[in-house]
Structure 1
Amino acid sequence: MWTLRRVSVPLRTRGYNVRTSFVKLARTNCVEEESGITESHGITYGGLLLSNKRFHSEQGASPDFNVWRRGLSSSSTKEDDDLEDGFSELDTPADDENEIGNLLASAAGQSDDDSDEENVEEPHNEVDEVVKEKGEPHRGRVECELFNEILNAPGLSIDVVVDNWLAEGNELTRDEVSHAMLLLRRRKMFGKALQLSEWLESKNQVEFLERDYASRIDLIAKTRSLTKAEAYLETIPESCSREMMYRTLLLNCVGQNNVKKAEEVFSKLKNLDLPVTVFACNQMLLLYKRNDQKKIADVLLLMETENIKPSSLTYSILIDTKGRYRDIDGMDLIVDRMKTDGIEPDIKTQAVLARHYISAGLQDKAEALLKEMEGENLKQDRWRWQILLPLYANLGKVDEVERIWKFCETKPRYDECLVAIEAWGKLNKVDEAENVFETMVKKFKLSSRNSSVLLKVYANHKMITKGKDLIKRMGESGCRIGPPTWNAIVKLYVQAGEVAKADSFLKRAAQQSQMKPIFSTYLSILEQYAKKGDVHNSEKIFYRMKDYHSRATMYQVLLNAYINAKVPAYGIRDRLRADNIKPNKTLANQLIQVDGFRKNPLSGLVD
């Protein structure tokens, strides 16, 4: 397996003179969280990944590089993984679970719907990206008969649905197929999208283009496995761009947090005549940010060696990693370097800066930056509103949130309502959050997406009865649900101390659909079982989480179950080795506590 740290002879023996002015700016520790910076998962044309040159980093490459490595190894006690805060349990009596059963039964095979198609979250897939590059206009709200047919027949296979649709005299055009695939992806119905892709290829209904093959790789990786996606890649005609295919596979490796497979893909790319690009480096930075902070230095050194100019995303990643460790001076230094290189921080990068200023308690600095982000005419720059609302809420600025919401409420848009509900919830203004929700429902109808946001507000404020009433309302309205809604419902049950119900609900939801729950949904249940010292159920949840690729986080929470139960965890070190996980400081301390063969310091004296 090729890695960025072990690829060939040391740089110093090959005569490289490596500059480290960029590397030294980024000396930091880093940690990932669910809301951290991510790169668009679109498939675009352009340069990709590695040339035939190989690289290896040594601590002796330069004094500055040594400092970078020392900075990583001497990290603070902050955990390396993206643990979410758990919900405290309540002694609330359990209500009847029939509403949840009905909700699941009515939504089997379907995902969260988007009530307002013009305002849904922009999807990240190769179809959209290719359309953007070709300069084709956004289709807006356009009916897709094929998609509607698939949506209205959840119990039938795609083969039957499409055959019946064609038998009715409909014409299957590339435009219709592309639109149907786009809408399936928007609703995260990847299983259905894959079936449609397979049917199209088997029936030779449309000529498969590069983007169609890339789409298939992406769908296989999402619904089956990265290994199967890679196997399919090998069957694609040689005339297709390998660059586009491997980019798709690499994105999915990073998206699934699979370090081993991502490095294997990197290894294969080194034999292709493709240049090292900032796109590939950014992907590896994101991957190592979550899993192995020391390797960030290797990627940055590679960029210096190959003279790869950092992009805005590169700087954003480094700014974010600095900010997570409260290294505000270092964060500001990177911003200065960014500007020196001619890249002005965009509003998303400024939002990252503001978030870390707030976390570090630098309210004045955060407020000044937010005023700068407002621009000269905030009332007309509507796109800024949904970025500013949550930041002012984090600052605790009720007046500012109210001021911006007044701009929105005369003609509210879907996403603006969602962030406003969250903002009012953060400010403990539940009544205001409910008012926005009801305004939203009147304009866009009740949906799983907007209900999930309010459910989170209820869970955070321990308003269990209101949360269950909303779940009942969702069921009566026939809402289609998917992983985001599952996450909100699970956390509501967890907050109520009903972890068994949360577990049962999630198991049934996953079984009745073709979708995977969000990682943090499982994690919240695992944390509750671990707190109780329930090793049996903790292991069951842990086993169900294995599809997400093992993380140190999972083992840390699992070992808490053994520690709280005061029982040894035999064979746990072998399991860690099998999953290629190197214990961090927290995990190493836990391993000592659950070691069944550890002797008491006094046992030798007594013997």
Structure 2
Amino acid sequence: MLLNTSIQTSSPLQHLPLSSLFFHSPTTIGFRHPIGIRAGIGRTNSIKCSISQVHSYGTLDYERRPPLKWSSLYRRISFMDNPELGSSSVLNQWEEEGRKLTKWELCRVVKELRKYRRYKLALEVYEWMSDQGDRFRLSSSDSAIQLDLISKVHGISTAEDYFSGLPKALKDKRAYGALLNAYAQAQMREKAEYMMEEMKSRGYTVHSLPFNVMMTLYMNLREFEKVNSIIAEMVEKNVALDLYSYNILLSCCGAMGSMEEMEEVFTRMTLDGTVNPNWTTYSTMATMYMKMGQFEKAEDCLKKLESRITGRDRIPFHYLLSLYSSIGKKEEIYRVWDIYKSSFPSIQNLGYHAMIASLIRLDDIQGAETIYEEWLLVKTSCDPRIFNLLMGWYIKEGLVDKAESFLNQVIEVGKPNSSTWEILAEGHISQNRISEALSCMKEATSAEGAKNWRPKPTNVSAFFSLCEGKGDMTSREGLMDVLRQVGWLEDEAYMSEVNSSDREGVALKLSVENSRIDANDADLLLNRLQ
């Protein structure tokens, strides 16, 4: 187990404004090692930085060959009828059919699986390669990718064990960078800081990537002043800022509400000469302008974002749809959707999800239902998240019976997941239907995704309060059994959230019904929740 040590660094420059750290002279700020950091878009336009996959560290050093049949193999793994059999079953069958697999093909499949967050299947491909003895030469690049996948599938502790067991020859800057990245994504600040110091002592921090990882961590922890400190260190050590360093700085300035500094950073970026703003730059700036209420400037950034879309990248369209919905531009959403559909022979589930989510955000339920019907006709696989978007809107609007009818239709064309059932349960709770809500929660325990299902503490709390108000302790115990079955009843942190939600609900009720509850009754009610 690695040391859990917090390393504190300081610099005489760290307390200066972000822009002043590098505006005082045209230092050698250039582009190196892209890692893809973006500002995530949600209903509340919250800031969320993310670090790209580890292979952007320069870890794809496997043999370059002309495109082969990797896409067919990828589809067979991705859409297998029984994912529990794992990737190895597909790979074994593939070779039994007389087709010998190469490392290039396998690594290309892994890359695609990681792209769509099919981490377990991707890890199983590497495990299959490892089981083949000396047939495939696995490099330090492969070890770094495996470490990244292990952290996502099995958790940090298992990733640490894997790292500790690596041969010295494979434990290079890639492996260290992968573990640093894993710590950052898990928001384990002290371990990330310790690993960063280890990398410095080994000479692994001569480029921007590890600094970008740490800045991303601090952004996600909303410790914006730490970003200032890292920029100061990069300037002092003459480590060139790359495109994504600038994008993080833009996010940081915007998060602190400093439009002037954000624009100064952007100006310096455009004057750099080796760094060109890309679509993620304009996506970040549009998000920050929206947070500041500068909607005209935000829309101008979206136009520039659209002009930067190149190649076969679908993701920028998803951001455009979401961002236009955030500023209420429904006509622009439909315009971008038309361009999106004309740019690709088919639209994948993520595209339909982005479009339907954008329309629902604007309460254009008729438009969302139309796009949903279109998706049903062209889908290659069912994505419960798309069902859930419509289910969620129906419940929010109090249309519980319509949501129930919709779920029956869903069952005919696909498989609802645990969240689908919980959404319906939430509707039943809102209408005081205890037995129906409990039935839905029980269905969730055996639905798709049940292993990773985390019932919302607010729903659990509301159900408990409803049961107690009705004196239905049998149903309350029934939900306790559900929580026990999915492993959350013994989770102290989770149950603390449930109890906290319960206390908040009681406090609100007390404030509303103050004239009908005397002090002694209130104390007894609150003490029950301690």
Question: TM exceeds 0.5?
Answer: yes
The superposition leaves residues 47-71 of structure 1 with CA deviations (integer Å, 9 ceiling, x where unpaired) of xxxxxxxxxxxxxxxxxxxxxxxxx
Matching of residues 380-391 of structure 1 within 5 Å: 385-391=317-323
Taking a change above 3 Å as real, the CA distance of residues 501 and 421 of structure 1, as seen in their structure-2 partners, is same
Residue pair 2:21, 2:235 contacting (<8 A) in 1 also? no
Distance 1:381 1:220 in 2: 27
Residue aligning to 2:510: none
Residue aligning to 2:347: 413
Residue pair 2:78, 2:113 contacting (<8 A) in 1 also? no
How many Å apart are 1:219 and its aligned residue?
2.5
The superposition leaves residues 97-134 of structure 1 with CA deviations (integer Å, 9 ceiling, x where unpaired) of xxxxxxxxxxxxxxxxxxxxxxxxxxxxx6xx557xx7
How many Å apart are 1:394 and its aligned residue?
1.9
Q: Which residue, 276, 294, 300 being the options, matches 2:231?
A: 300
Distance 1:185 1:267 in 2: 29
How many Å apart are 1:244 and its aligned residue?
1.1
Letter in 2 for 1:5: Q
Taking a change above 3 Å as real, the CA distance of residues 564 and 352 of structure 1, as seen in their structure-2 partners, is same
Matching of residues 553-572 of structure 1 within 5 Å: 559-562=500-503, 564=505
Taking a change above 3 Å as real, the CA distance of residues 193 and 346 of structure 1, as seen in their structure-2 partners, is closer
Residue pair 1:147, 1:183 contacting (<8 A) in 2 also? no
The superposition leaves residues 320-366 of structure 1 with CA deviations (integer Å, 9 ceiling, x where unpaired) of 23334543334333323333434443222212222332333323333
Taking a change above 3 Å as real, the CA distance of residues 338 and 199 of structure 1, as seen in their structure-2 partners, is closer
Residue aligning to 1:528: 459
1:236 aligned onto 2:166: yes
Structure number with higher relative contact order (C-alpha < 8 Å, ≥ 6 residues apart): 1
Residue aligning to 1:42: 54
How many Å apart are 1:372 and its aligned residue?
4.1
Q: Which range moves more in the overlay, 493-502 or 274-283?
A: 493-502
The superposition leaves residues 584-604 of structure 1 with CA deviations (integer Å, 9 ceiling, x where unpaired) of xxxxxxxxxx999x9xxxxxx
Residue aligning to 2:378: 443
Residue aligning to 1:277: 207
> Secondary structure of the residue that 2:168 maps to in structure 1?
coil
Distance 1:382 1:198 in 2: 30
Residue aligning to 1:88: none
Distance 1:508 1:491 in 2: 15
1:171 aligned onto 2:105: no
> Secondary structure of the residue that 2:169 maps to in structure 1?
coil
Taking a change above 3 Å as real, the CA distance of residues 511 and 400 of structure 1, as seen in their structure-2 partners, is closer
Letter in 2 for 1:339: T
Distance 2:412 2:140 in 1: 44
> Secondary structure of the residue that 2:298 maps to in structure 1?
helix
TM-score, with length taken from structure 2: 0.70
Letter in 1 for 2:170: C
Matching of residues 158-197 of structure 1 within 5 Å: 171-182=100-111, 184-185=113-114, 188-197=117-126
Residue pair 1:486, 1:506 contacting (<8 A) in 2 also? yes
Residue pair 1:43, 1:130 contacting (<8 A) in 2 also? no
Residue pair 1:4, 1:299 contacting (<8 A) in 2 also? no
Distance 1:347 1:532 in 2: 45
Q: Which residue, 277, 286, 292 being the options, matches 1:345?
A: 277
How many Å apart are 1:284 and its aligned residue?
1.0
Distance 1:382 1:304 in 2: 35
Gaps of 5+ in 2: 23-38, 431-436, 469-475, 508-525
Distance 1:144 1:350 in 2: 36
Taking a change above 3 Å as real, the CA distance of residues 556 and 152 of structure 1, as seen in their structure-2 partners, is closer
1:309 aligned onto 2:240: yes
The superposition leaves residues 474-523 of structure 1 with CA deviations (integer Å, 9 ceiling, x where unpaired) of 433345x7xxx65565445435537756754555458855xx45xxx65x
Distance 1:469 1:488 in 2: 13
Taking a change above 3 Å as real, the CA distance of residues 138 and 320 of structure 1, as seen in their structure-2 partners, is farther
Distance 1:453 1:166 in 2: 41
Residue pair 1:43, 1:248 contacting (<8 A) in 2 also? no
1:433 aligned onto 2:445: no
Residue pair 2:181, 2:213 contacting (<8 A) in 1 also? yes
Distance 1:185 1:4 in 2: 32
How many Å apart are 1:557 and its aligned residue?
7.4
Distance 1:314 1:545 in 2: 42
TM-score, with length taken from structure 1: 0.62
> Secondary structure of the residue that 1:284 maps to in structure 2?
helix
Taking a change above 3 Å as real, the CA distance of residues 544 and 331 of structure 1, as seen in their structure-2 partners, is farther
Residue pair 1:532, 1:564 contacting (<8 A) in 2 also? no
How many Å apart are 1:459 and its aligned residue?
5.0
Taking a change above 3 Å as real, the CA distance of residues 462 and 226 of structure 1, as seen in their structure-2 partners, is same
How many Å apart are 1:245 and its aligned residue?
1.0
Letter in 1 for 2:378: K
Distance 1:163 1:401 in 2: 45
> Secondary structure of the residue that 1:345 maps to in structure 2?
coil
Taking a change above 3 Å as real, the CA distance of residues 317 and 417 of structure 1, as seen in their structure-2 partners, is same
How many Å apart are 1:202 and its aligned residue?
3.4
Q: Which residue, 253, 257, 260 being the options, matches 1:329?
A: 260
> Secondary structure of the residue that 2:170 maps to in structure 1?
coil
The superposition leaves residues 398-420 of structure 1 with CA deviations (integer Å, 9 ceiling, x where unpaired) of 33333333444566633544332
Distance 1:173 1:506 in 2: 41
Q: Which residue, 5, 8, 12 being the options, matches 1:5?
A: 8
The superposition leaves residues 523-561 of structure 1 with CA deviations (integer Å, 9 ceiling, x where unpaired) of xx11334567869989x69984999x98xx997776444
Distance 1:228 1:179 in 2: 25
Letter in 1 for 2:127: E
Residue aligning to 1:266: 196
Letter in 1 for 2:154: R
Count how many residue pairs are aligned between Structure 1 and Structure 2. Answer: 462
